[in-house]
Amino acid sequence: MVAAAYAKDLLYRIAPNSVTAEKRIIDVLSDVQETVHGVEKEVHKLVHKQHSQEQRAILDWLTLVDYAPQHNDFISRQQRGTGQWFLESTQYKTWLDTKGQTLFCPGIPGAGKTIITAIVVNHLLTHFQGHPKIGFAYIYCNFRQQNEQTAIRLLTNLLKQLSQGQLHLPKTVKDLFDKHKETRTQPSLGEVTAALQAITESYSRSFIVVDALDECQELGQLGFLDGVFNLQTKTGVNILATSRFSESIKKQFGGCPTVEISATDGDILTYLNGQISLRRSNMINGDLQDKISTQLTKASGGMFLLAMFHIKEIMEQPTIGDIEDVLQKLGSGMEGLNELYKQAIKRINDHPEVTKRLAKRILIWITRAQRPLSIVEIQHALAVRENMLKFDLKYMPDMEFLTSVCAGLVTIDESSEIIRLVHYTTQEFLQQTHEEWFPQGELYMTKVCATYLSFDTFENGPCQTGDELKERLNSNRLYHYAAHNWGHHARAAATISQQVIDLLECKAKMEAASQILMAVRPLKSSNLLSRFVERIPRELTRLHLAAYFGVETAVGHFLRKGDNPDLKDTYGRTPLSWAAENGHVAVVALLLKTGQVDAGSEDKWNQTPLLYASANNHEGIVELLLENGVNVDSKNIDMDADSKIIGAYSGRTPLLYASANGYVAIVKLLLEKGASIDTRDMDGKTPLAFAAEGGHEGTVQLLLDNGADINIQDNNGWTPLSWAVSNGHEALVRLLLNRGATIQPDDRHVTELAWAIQHGDKLRIEILLRRGYHLEGSDVYTQTPLVSAIKENQIVAAELLFDRGADPNLRGSDERAPLSWAVELGHSAIVQLLLDKGADPNVKDSTRRTPLSVAAEKGYTDIIQLLLDKGADPTVEDFNKRTPLSVAAERGHATIFQLLLDKGVDPNLEGPDKRTPLLLAVEMGRVAIVQLLLDKGVEISYEDTDVSSLLLNSVENGCIDIIQHILNKDAQCETSDLIMLDSLFLAVELGRTAIVQLLLDRGADISHEATDVSVFPSNAFTERSMVIIQQILDNDVQIGASAVVIPALLLLAVEMGHTAIVELLLDRAAEIGLRNRQLWVPLLSGAIEVATEFNHIVIVQLLIEHGHYI
């Protein structure tokens, strides 16, 4: 009756004002908690937002190109049900299931390669949805974006996509950003590939899908494929690529599994029937539909594109007779496709003059623009009229009109708002024939751009702030394109227009256009634009601008008018400098011919025209400048990011630039003119080192043939061989070694031996070892050659090293023994080899872990057996007092645990904090190990806290099986009532209904006289916990026990304000006749008082109803 007495005493002895005061404190604490929680949430949101913004800024710094809108547009065009044949093919399934596979998918033009690519991307995203360790990246190559799709830009895009797949921004990318942040430069190809490898290795599987490789520029294509194949070799990434049939591309994929993409008859039928049902099902059905489907499928010849054009033409026919006429004239293959394009142009020519002119202008803008144009950009371009002084919205055509007048040749990507031709073959046809259907198209585009740039709104010249510039770009949507590209169209037109002359003769408008032109990349924020506004070159003349674009007619025009051809802008650059950088040979020749220019003029970074030309592979210009006697060894200085050349480099000469990029022809020209072959930049790197770093075998060969020092070291001690090795250029490494490159045994950088080991090159390893390579030496990663072999799992290399006397116990600079590494990586064959060669099985790492402990943690059963057979001590503790047995218990490796027990290890051996294996297994919920220990006869002491700890941990982890095991083991003894009740209360608190029932069934008694029921878990009093309260009441079958339990629970339920539980307790009290007992009246009165003080009005009414006789 102790609990009941306590409850009664509580009701009558606590003053009401004390209860009220306690409530106020609770209220205050609750308010504080809510406030703190609210502040924490807001801070978390702000921090998350800041991190998200920072992450987005870094990822956008990598590249702004996003292929998701293109993908969404392509997948939206898929006819439901098509493409399944590809997903179900054996080759695709094998590729999907096997790490490190490549699948090459060539096909004829118009076969549906891009749609298949989109289907694959969608399948991957769906198949692996929710897998954080699976990485994806995809690229849609586009003939209109060849300038953007260079090797480094494509690889950088892969880096961005794979980084986006991580929960947090990868440290590799953050470090890369921090490295370039101050100089505002972009990462090099080597840095991108290294980061890409690091991030790909963080995934268990990675997939790269590339569409239309044939549309990528050749140099970019080769460099990109070299990069991804190298990535595949190192990380096992899966690669799938589509392309037209191309011998050069096929060669790159030699030996890879191949699936030819061709529109199957089934897919074409599905598409055709879908289109008929959607558009003309009322007129076309039955036999006619079958006839259309059969004939179009046959005529399509595996080309989805042809089927699309044919069905579109049929859908436009007004009668069945007209449909049958079309069916009789169906063309097939590329000839049929070209015939359809000719018919489309004919239909355009049959339009009224105004509509015809508009359609042709739309086509010329799409076909000849320097980049894909948005809908609004084309609308602005079409609205321009000759001699227009300001933009007039009334001349803008509607978006729907743009596609309707072009005879089905154009389409709109809704997600990207880009207007484009329906297919690459359309572009090819129009490119080849544009002089027929739109002669002087480039001149027309030049006039439009020049007119737009000459609008009166730009007469105030350049903007003074970022906000002004942003507003100018937003209000004048063609302005960015026109400023960047008017000169390209003017150069192609080869005819000077009055509009161009007028623009260049108006200084304010010319400078306004130049301000946009000098943007290094698209800028979105006002802050970035503001910095840009302050740092662009000033004092650009009309000759500078004409030379920049290579508009020879304009340059000649202004030279004849007497313009000074050697003036410098605020960057110190002359017209010759801009023309040399951009590769305009004719303009360079024209300027040099005047005799009024300094061919070796230096700008503010000491960059000469020869440096610019050499860095950008302009061979013809290099020849012209060398003929004019310029300094062949001129060097630049530090450059900032405002420069448009390739990066912030110091002390580079033309030869260094050309060698770094592998421009063999230019290297040859420079050497013939006496360029210093071993010249160094500020880091001490020579042309040979740069060529070796870039993997440019031809350039390396040329430099060596001309006497380059093969063993010269840079400021960090790296040789050309070190650079070749560190970048994985295998053929180049062999070339350098064959040409006499000296091995550097003490070189702490990536060594030749490390490279040979990594690639399993047995012959090279033997050669290097015969030359006396130091087996004790460490590379830049502080690892000995033996550790290198272990990490690469190269057992043959390890055997060769042992044959040459390698010490199996020699630690690297990281103080880890070879055996420790082999066990960590799970290389059991090498573990066996090391043990056979005398490796100490009890060697400890820096945390005093033995190989046995590491293997126990990793779960390597076979290695555990090897170590035990060689005498490994299973009782050794690490710094945290963990033994192999305790580690196995924590990790749940039951087989390893049994092996250790079989070796005689004490099952009661204490680990961290004197916890036994049994307690550790219980804490971690390792049921199998608990059973092993109990079966082994492990004793549970009832004189200390063992049982309490075991049961409470099992309850907390929800391990009902372990609780059952413990209680069954103790079937002959009585577990302490207090221990059972502690466990019961915890189970109630955590809402573990099944465990509550088990404990009640096994004798947990809430009415025990030692129990203070007032400390019953308050969070058990929730509406969802009624089932638990019911369980407890159902187990208190004796009236005596209920006389204690019900009043105590009632008091607590009233205080907590849980009406349903109060009602349950009152009903149970009535069932057992508790109301007639002397305790009932004072208890009920006290409960009403407490409910009143806590303002639980509904409970007060309920209590009064149940106590109306009081």
Q: Give residue 645's pLDDT band: very low, low, confident or very high (50, 70, 90).
A: very low
Our measurement of the distance from residue 570's CA atom to the centroid of its chain's CA atoms, rounded to an integer in Å, reads 40
Q: Give residue 22's pLDDT band: very low, low, confident or very high (50, 70, 90).
A: very low
pLDDT for position 892: 85
Cα 16 from Cα 245, distance rounded (Å):
91
Average pLDDT over residues 1038-1060: 66
pLDDT for position 1080: 65
pLDDT for position 735: 93
> Is 902's pLDDT higher than 60?
yes
Apex CA 1078: angle with CA 1077 and CA 1082, to 5°? 120
pLDDT for position 548: 97
pLDDT for position 576: 98
Residues 6+ apart with CB under 8 A from 61: 177
Least confident of 132-141, 280-289, 783-792: 280-289
Least confident of 185-194, 490-499, 825-834: 185-194
Q: Where are the domains of the chain?
A: 1-60+1005-1110, 63-252, 282-358, 746-840
Cα 194 from Cα 189, distance rounded (Å):
9
SS3 category, 318: coil
Average pLDDT over residues 434-459: 93
pLDDT for position 649: 58
Residues 6+ apart with CB under 8 A from 512: 453, 458, 460, 461, 462, 463
Fold: same for 63-252 and 746-840: no
CATH class of the region 63-252? alpha beta
pLDDT for position 946: 58
Please give the full DSSP string across 394-440, using - where no structure is assigned. Answer: GGPPPHHHHHHTTTT-EEEETTTTEEEES-HHHHHHHHHHHHHHSTT
- For the chain, give the percent of residues with pLDDT over 90: 34
Q: Give residue 762's pLDDT band: very low, low, confident or very high (50, 70, 90).
A: confident
Residue that is written with structure tokens 């009414």 in the block = 1101
Residue range 214-272, pLDDT digits in tens: 888 777 788 899 889 989 988 889 999 999 888 888 888 988 999 998 888 888 888 78
pLDDT for position 293: 82
Residue range 51-94, pLDDT digits in tens: 567 788 889 889 988 998 889 888 888 888 888 999 999 999 99
Q: Among 270-284, 332-346, 960-974, 1019-1033, which range has the highest average pLDDT?
A: 332-346
Average pLDDT over residues 104-114: 87
- For the chain, give the percent of residues with pLDDT over 70: 78
> Is 336's pLDDT higher than 70?
yes
With beta carbons less than 8 A apart as the criterion, state whether 571 and 537 touch. Answer: yes
Residue 1006 burial by CB count (10 A; 0-12/13-18/19+): exposed, middle or buried? buried
> Is 14's pLDDT higher than 80?
no
pLDDT for position 586: 97
Cα 562 from Cα 539, distance rounded (Å):
18
Average pLDDT over residues 298-311: 78
> Is 690's pLDDT higher than 60?
yes
Average pLDDT over residues 340-358: 88
Q: Give residue 397's pLDDT band: very low, low, confident or very high (50, 70, 90).
A: very high
> Is 1077's pLDDT higher than 90?
no
CATH number of 746-840: 1.25.40.20
pLDDT for position 664: 96
Least confident of 390-399, 525-534, 583-592, 907-916: 525-534
SS3 category, 767: helix
Least confident of 99-103, 113-117, 1097-1101: 1097-1101
Question: For all residues of the chain together, what is the average pLDDT?
Answer: 80
Cα 875 from Cα 300, distance rounded (Å):
75
Residue range 703-724, pLDDT digits in tens: 999 999 999 999 988 899 888 8
**Better pLDDT: 985 or 447:** 447
Least confident of 342-346, 522-526, 815-819: 522-526
Residue 171, both tokens: 């440290």
Q: Which of 201, 273, 214, 286 is nearest to 248 (CA)?
A: 214
Q: Which of 546, 535, 456 is nearest to 500 (CA)?
A: 546
User: Does the reported pTM lie above 0.95?
Assistant: no
